[in-house]
């Protein structure tokens, strides 16, 4: 198979991109042939004001360029592919911007937010994060929030969220829900990775599981560093494909500017120390840097390496296209409409 042709023609969606907090990296995704990418416009607990400022900054940036398109419906991604643009999809990693006011769901949906992660590792008003020792499941507010997200056609994202809280959400949602950047605990038992029944529950909603390239969630740390290969990452894809089917697996690679190779090691360690001291990360799941992205896809410019790796692993062309983006596009159509 001709990897370059498939990559050039495919709809490619990377559904998690905190790297784009530094907007200059849009050029990296564009160079990598990505059709749609989802910057994190809220991380952790956040606040309404902080999220509003970040969204405003993005809206101004998108409108200042002719090669970007705000993604609010599935047809925006089709148009981005047709026109050679990069689609920008707003994603919350945490529900802090809603505080306890459900009407803010409508407000942020009107501004373009189309996917919302329920927690970020820790307990919040919605439920428990995956780093909590005790998981009480969705709160009453959390259940109301899932219903409101469904009503507003905003995708429910269960990544970084505790086991029981995710299972409550996946049993409650009336629209497809996802794990936007989660690997398999059966392949590597990190607390940030998900169990098989969580993956099955997401697929059962019509949703999907998207794998992350974050090194310490792909393989164990050895010699004080995690150094996965692309085949190590694709092993997680293989597991999910065998478990829940080819139609329910995608990509949320989660490149971030606070990691190598995007920052120097001193900056990377400083960012890690801040996250550890602030309590949003636990060193068991987030061991001390340095860690190294799979060298075949070290940066977004190298996205072709993912297409080549899937082909090398034995995936057929149609299945490569599904993993690269068509599965996400199907979920987007199901939740958002055309």
8 Å CB contact between 219 and 249? no
pLDDT of residue 168: 98
The structure tokens listed for 200 are: 């099955």
Q: Where are the alpha helices (DSSP H) in 64-123?
A: 74-83, 103-110
CB atoms within 10 A of CB 111: 17
DSSP per residue over 262-331, as a string? TS-HHHHHHHHHHHHHHTS--TTTSPPSP----GGGSSGGGTHHHHHHHHHTT--HHHHHIIIIIHHHHH
What CATH class is the domain 3-336?
alpha beta
Tens of pLDDT along the chain (338 residues) come to 799 999 999 999 999 999 999 999 999 999 999 999 999 999 888 899 999 999 999 999 999 999 999 999 999 999 999 999 999 999 999 999 999 999 999 999 999 999 999 999 999 999 999 999 999 999 999 999 999 999 999 999 999 999 999 999 999 999 999 999 999 999 999 999 999 999 999 999 999 999 999 999 999 998 889 999 999 999 999 999 999 999 999 999 999 999 999 999 999 999 999 999 999 999 999 999 999 999 999 999 999 999 999 999 999 999 999 999 999 999 999 999 98
Q: Work out the angle at residue 70's Cα, subtended by the Cα atoms of residues 66 and 71, and round it to the nearest 5 degrees.
A: 135
8 Å CB contact between 186 and 196? yes
pLDDT of residue 115: 98
Strand partners, 250: 210
8 Å CB contact between 153 and 110? no
How far, in Å, CA of 162 to CA of 151, rounded? Answer: 23
Phi, psi of 116 (to 5 degrees): -135, 120
pLDDT of residue 226: 94
The structure tokens listed for 275 are: 């996250």
């Amino acid at each position: 198979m001709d990897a370059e042709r498939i990559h050039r023609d495919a709809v490619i969606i990377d559904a998690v991109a905190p790297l784009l907090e530094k907007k200059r990296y849009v050029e990296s995704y564009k160079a990598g042939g990505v059709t749609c990418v989802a910057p994190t416009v809220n991380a952790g607990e956040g606040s309404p004001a902080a999220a509003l400022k970040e969204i405003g900054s993005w809206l101004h940036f998108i409108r200042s360029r002719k090669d970007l398109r705000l993604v609010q419906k599935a047809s925006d991604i089709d148009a981005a592919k047709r026109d050679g643009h990069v689609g920008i999809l707003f994603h919350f990693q945490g529900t802090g911007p809603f505080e306890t006011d459900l009407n803010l769901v409508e407000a942020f949906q009107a501004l373009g937010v189309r996917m919302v992660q329920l927690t970020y590792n820790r307990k919040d008003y919605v439920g428990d994060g995956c780093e909590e020792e005790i998981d009480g499941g969705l709160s009453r507010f959390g259940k109301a929030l899932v219903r409101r997200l469904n009503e507003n056609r905003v995708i429910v994202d269960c990544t970084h969220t505790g086991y029981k809280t995710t299972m409550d959400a996946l049993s409650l949602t009336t629209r497809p829900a996802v794990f936007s950047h989660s690997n398999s605990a059966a392949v590597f038992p990190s607390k940030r990775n998900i169990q098989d029944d969580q993956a099955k529950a997401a697929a059962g909603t019509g949703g999907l599981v998207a794998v992350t390239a974050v090194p310490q969630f792909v393989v164990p740390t050895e010699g004080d560093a995690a150094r996965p290969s692309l085949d190590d990452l694709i092993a997680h894809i293989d597991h999910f494909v065998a478990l829940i089917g080819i139609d329910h697996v995608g990509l949320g690679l989660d490149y971030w500017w606070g990691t190598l190779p995007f920052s120097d090691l001193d900056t990377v360690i400083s960012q890690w120390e801040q996250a550890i001291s602030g309590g949003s990360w636990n060193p068991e799941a987030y061991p001390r840097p340095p860690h190294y992205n799979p060298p075949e896809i070290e940066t977004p410019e190298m996205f072709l390496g993912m297409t080549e790796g899937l082909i090398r692993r034995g995936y057929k062309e149609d299945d490569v296209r599904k993993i690269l983006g068509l599965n996400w596009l199907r979920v987007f159509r199901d939740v958002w409409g055309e």
